[in-house]
Amino acid sequence: MKNLRSEILKALLRVEKGSYSNLLLNSKLKLIEDKRDKNLFTEIYYGVIRNKLYLDYIINQFSKTSLLKMDSEVLMGLRIGVYQLFFLDKVPARAAIYESVEAVKIILPASQKGAISFTNGVLRNINRKRNSIKLPAKNKDPEKHLSIKYSYPMWLVKRFIKQYGFNKSEKILKAGNKRAEVIYRHNSLKMTKAQFIELLDAADLEYESTFLESFYKLKKVNNPAQTKVFKRGGAYIQGTSAGLASLLLDPSENMEVLDLAAAPGGKTSHLAALMNNTGQIKALDISQSRLDLVQENLLRLGVKNVSLKKADASKYQDNKKYDRILADLPCSGLGLIASKPEIKWDKNENIIEKMAKLQYKILNNNLNKLKSGGQLLYSTCTLAKEENQDLIKRILKENKAYKLIDLSSRLEKASSLNLETKDKYLEILPGEVDSEGFFYALIQKVESD
Ligand SMILES: C[S@@+](CC[C@H](N)C(=O)[O-])C[C@H]1O[C@@H](n2cnc3c(N)ncnc32)[C@H](O)[C@@H]1O
């Protein structure tokens, strides 16, 4: 790779235009040989996305030009520079400024000399007066304080404070800025636990256990999808909160299971493993290209009891009745900010409302596919109550033949987590648990005599 910072700058501009940060990063890291360069690329790239508002707050105090009027290349170059100055002790200030200005120089045409000296001047000025920078006061404007300190848009800070109060919100915001860890789920359909561990050890992969028995946190791994254990189907990369969903649904062998939104297949393949490849899982998704990913994953993982179908789950019709239904539905994703920090900047209140409507339609269309006594697990990776508690309350109010089951005993059986359910629901909050934010509710069709 020719110039690391200019490549970071280009990649960040693409994320601003809508590219998925994790997919783009993976494709960029493949082009970098040196391990230290890979780490520095990742650090600056995610650091700038995570801390954008804080970086802009600083730049704004030292620039006579408004941020809105700046060339996007210059603004991004400044963010890259300020991030290094404030967050990376190992990069000397002189190098941080020089490299960031060089990156802008490479990207902008030579005719834009003024923009280059502007970038240089602003960065030097910020570095000189760095000790004078102050956050908005916590006691005067607590919302603004959190918004700038942790770089979250105001609407999201206000929403969290309303739902969880100031202290819990601060923990959630802080945890969302921590780099997400890579976790392998051991896939028992391809190898025993002992063989799985043997392959981790043989590859010198450092790991530690988690609150779920089959999930291992990997330390310092650059290409988790390139290891032998992964390629042989012994592992699936999956967060612990995502993994908890299939465990809470608790399927048994030979059951009939419906998965309403399956792609890329994490929970489907986990269910298949828990059922030991017996019974039948019907897995739906609205997107064919995403179903192709499921197919690829199921093949690698040796899953044999799943049939895939492209369908809109809000309209899907089926004459069968199921023992278990997994409704891991599309959502606003506010629990996944640590692994996909651009969620901070891409989402808004309208998306939450839109998602809640879709989730309502999907649940209403599928509840009647449960057998008598059958159970549906609803899960989302978001922390918006309209998509979680409020939605489930409404569904149960309108459908009297269904009841909510307290998730405590399932949680105790599935994990070593010491968490209380609230109103029978379970919610995982980043900052309280070292995992993604998730919500779960278990609904049962009341048995008819
Ligand atoms: C949260 S993801 C599912 C993750 C999956 N359960 C897993 O564990 O890998 C939501 C999925 O819902 C799909 N989707 C969105 N709208 C849908 C609809 N109306 N019907 C079915 N699937 C839908 C998306 O394509 C996406 O793959």
pTM score of the predicted model: 0.94
**Which residue in the list 376, 381, 392, 411 is annotated as catalytic?**
381
Nearest CA to ligand 1 atom 27: 263
Contact yes or no for 260/329 (Cβ under 8 A):
yes
Taking the C-alpha atoms of residue 253 and residue 426, their distance in angstroms, rounded to an integer, is 25
For the beta carbon of residue 250, count every other beta carbon within 10 angstroms.
Answer: 17
Residue ranges at the known binding site: 261-267, 285, 312, 328
Instruction: Locate 61 and state its tokens.
Output: 């105090």
CA 334/CA 161 separation, integer angstroms: 14
Distance of alpha carbon 126 from alpha carbon 107, whole angstroms: 22
265 C-beta closer than 6 A to ligand 1: yes
Which residue's entry shows tokens 């979680």?
A: 388
Pick the residue whose CA is nearest to atom 7 on ligand 1. Answer: 266
Give nearest CA residue, ligand 1 atom 6.
Answer: 262
Q: At what angle do helices 389-398 and 349-366 cross, to 10 degrees?
A: 30
- Supply the ipTM of this predicted assembly: 0.99
Could you tell me the domains of the chain? 4-132 (1.10.940.10), 142-176 (no CATH), 182-237 (3.30.70.1170), 240-445 (3.40.50.150)
**330 alpha carbon – ligand 1 mean position (Å):** 5
Q: Which atom of ligand 1 is nearest to the CA of 267?
A: 8
The protein residue whose alpha carbon is closest to atom 1 in ligand 1 is 330
* CB environment 93-125: b (16+ within 10 A), e (fewer): beebbebbbbbbbbbbeeebeebbebbbebbbe
- Is the separation of the CB atoms in 305 and 324 below 8 Å? no
Task: Name every residue whose Cβ is closer than 8 Å to that of residue 385 and which is 6 or more positions away in sequence.
Answer: 163
Q: At what angle do helices 35-50 and 52-62 cross, to 10 degrees?
A: 80
CB 122 less than 6 A from any atom of ligand 1: no
Which residue's CA lies nearest to atom 23 of ligand 1? 286
Q: 306 CB under 6 A from ligand 1?
A: no
Q: How far does the centroid of ligand 1 lie from the alpha carbon of residue 117, in Å?
A: 48
Strand order in the sheet with 206-209: 206-209, 215-219, 182-186, 235-237
Instruction: Show Cβ contacts of residue 446 under 8 Å, excluding neighbours closer than 6 positions.
Output: 372, 401, 402, 403
Per-residue b or e along 399-408, where b marks 16 or more CB atoms closer than 10 Å to that residue's CB:
eeebebbebe
- pLDDT at res. 194: 97
Query: HSE (CB half, 13 Å, CA atoms) of 344?
Result: 29
Ligand 1 centroid–CA 328 distance in Å is 7
Instruction: Give the Å distance between the CA of 308 and the centre of ligand 1.
Output: 13
Ligand 1 centroid from CA 261, angstroms: 4
Ligand 1 binding pocket mutation candidate from 187, 285, 325, 377 (most atoms within 8 A of CB): 285
Q: Does residue 266 line the site of ligand 1, with CB under 6 A?
A: yes
Instruction: Return the C-alpha torsion angle 322, 328, 329, 330, nearest 10.
Output: -150
pLDDT given at position 367: 97
Q: How far apart are CA 300 and CA 108, in angstroms?
A: 44
Q: Ligand 1 centre and the CA of 208: distance in Å?
A: 30
User: For every one of its 449 residues, what pLDDT tens digit does the chain have, with 9 covering 90 and above?
Assistant: 678 999 999 999 999 998 988 889 989 998 998 989 999 999 999 999 999 999 999 999 999 999 999 999 999 999 999 999 999 999 999 999 999 999 999 998 777 888 999 999 999 999 999 999 999 999 999 999 999 999 999 999 999 999 999 999 999 999 999 988 899 999 999 999 999 999 999 999 999 999 999 999 999 787 899 899 999 999 999 999 999 999 999 999 999 999 999 999 999 999 999 999 999 999 999 999 999 999 999 999 999 999 999 999 999 999 999 999 999 999 999 999 999 999 999 999 999 999 999 999 999 999 999 999 999 999 999 999 999 999 999 999 999 999 999 999 999 999 999 999 999 999 999 999 999 999 999 999 998 75
Residue 381 annotated among the catalytic residues of the structure: yes
What gap in Å lies between CA 63 and CA 354, rounded to an integer? 38
Per the annotation, binding residues for S-adenosyl-L-methionine are: 261-267, 285, 312, 328
Q: Is 330 a pocket residue for ligand 1 (Cβ < 6 Å)? A: yes
447/384 Cα distance (integer angstroms): 31
Tokens coding 105: 């120089």
Encoded tokens for 109:
């045409």
| Nearest CA residue ID for atom 26, ligand 1 | 263
Burial 9-18 (b: 16+ CB within 10 A, else e): bbbbeebeee
